[in-house]
Structure 1
Amino acid sequence: MLRKPTLGNVSISNQASWSIAGLLVAQRMRKNLKERRAQKVAKKIEIIEPQPPSFASRPSEKVQLSSIKHILESYLPERMGDMKYDHTKVPSLVKLISEEVRTQVKKVLPARYKMLCLVTMGERAQEDIAIVSRCLWDPHADNYVAHVYENSSFFCVVAVYTVFCE
């Protein structure tokens, strides 16, 4: 007579056997999976106000734009006065103005800030000009100041960009 092979209390047979406990566990697992899938679909990410990431360092002190604006407003009329436009002197004059503005602005710039000084000069004639700039930066730490000086002969636009370096 042949006996069925056994492994302790477990018997091996060709017929599938189902237990109530196993069915209840499978039902619970299926319910949990459905709930997880529904939660993933229901999650909507909404950015209310753009902020720098929490791991990014923030400046302890921000740039005082009013002090830079005051420097530009007082320096340009004093330096330019009633100069006449001379296209041969403009390259060296623009370089000189840029260096002098940079040295004055560096005195009021907080630590860990870098700056860029951009000077544009041209003759005043019958034409119009538009100067536009666009930057990609952190709006919480970076900024700029621009000032225009004009007289009867020429115009001069000075823009100072300040960027916080981490």
Structure 2
Amino acid sequence: MDATSDSKRLGAVKLSRVTFRATNRDSDPTAAKTVAAAQTPRTTSNVKPPPSEASPKPTDTKKAAPSISLSGLLAAQRMTLRLKNQAALRRKARARTPNRKPIAIINEQVPSGSANPPQRFPYSLAKELIQEFLMAKLRNVTYDPSTSGDLTKTLCEDIKKVVRRVTPPRYKLICNMAIGSRNREDVLVTSQCLWDSYSDNVTSCSFQNATMFCVATVYAVYFE
């Protein structure tokens, strides 16, 4: 019974590596070497075996790049050019139409020493009336040096009557006229005066036909 129990214990001891080495180190040296080799950690070798001729080659997993057609490239270039032109047109439109609101002048500043008429002289309307009058009076007139002086006085008086219809009150009209021949001659007519540039104004018209030319100037001077 003791031997059986001892054998059972010995078999149980064999299952434990630490107990086996402590009890059998002197008696079985080869077993100790085997156990030590078993306890040493296994190292994996980094050396790869040479590829055999029979082993299959790895297949290339890269996909082929899609081909680009010439028509698609031209269409993309046209689209890019169209978008650039549209952006340029929008920038020009924004530059032509500023976002700033116009400044409204509530009270116009009258210069010191100037008259302040309640209504200004309508020089653009007066110019249209003078132009129509000269065309109606001188359309079929032939230049004659002997009658040009009287014709000038008559036309000046008639022009003042026509312009007086649209002239505001307290304005004095002064008419100046020059008539000459169109016989290969160049004429320069100038005028100069001293007045109030804020309240006074001037308008001028010219007319010519086959034989003569006429320049009429009307000054509108305001009196308080």
- Give distance in 2, aligned partners of 1:143 and 1:63: 7
- Give distance in 2, aligned partners of 1:86 and 1:63: 35
Task: Specify the alignment match of 1:155 in structure 2.
Answer: 213
- Give distance in 1, aligned partners of 2:205 and 2:191: 14
Q: Normalized against structure 2, the TM-score is what? A: 0.49
State the 1:53 CA deviation: 1.5
Q: Which one has a bigger Cα radius of gyration?
A: 2
Alignment size in residue pairs? 116
- Give distance in 2, aligned partners of 1:155 and 1:90: 11
Which sections of structure 2, spanning at least 5 residues, go unmatched? 1-108
Q: Does 1:116 align with 2:156?
A: no
Task: Specify the alignment match of 2:185 in structure 1.
Answer: 127
Contact preservation (8 Å) 1:123, 1:155: yes
Q: Normalized against structure 1, the TM-score is what? A: 0.66
State the 1:88 CA deviation: 1.2
CA RMSD of aligned residues (A): 1.6
Contact preservation (8 Å) 1:52, 1:138: no
For residues 1-166 of structure 1, the aligned pairs below 5 Å read 52-53=111-112, 56-166=114-224
Task: Extract structure 1 runs of 4+ deviating beyond 3 A.
Answer: none
- Give distance in 2, aligned partners of 1:142 and 1:57: 9
The AA in structure 2 aligned to 1:162 is A
Match of 2:121, SS state, is coil
Match of 1:74, SS state, is helix
Match of 1:135, SS state, is coil
State the 1:73 CA deviation: 1.2
- Give distance in 2, aligned partners of 1:105 and 1:123: 26
- Give distance in 1, aligned partners of 2:138 and 2:125: 20
- Give distance in 1, aligned partners of 2:191 and 2:144: 26
The AA in structure 2 aligned to 1:127 is E
Match of 1:146, SS state, is strand
State the 1:63 CA deviation: 0.7
Deviates more, 1:96-105 or 1:130-139: 130-139
More contact order relative to length (CA 8 Å, sep ≥ 6): 1
Match of 2:167, SS state, is coil
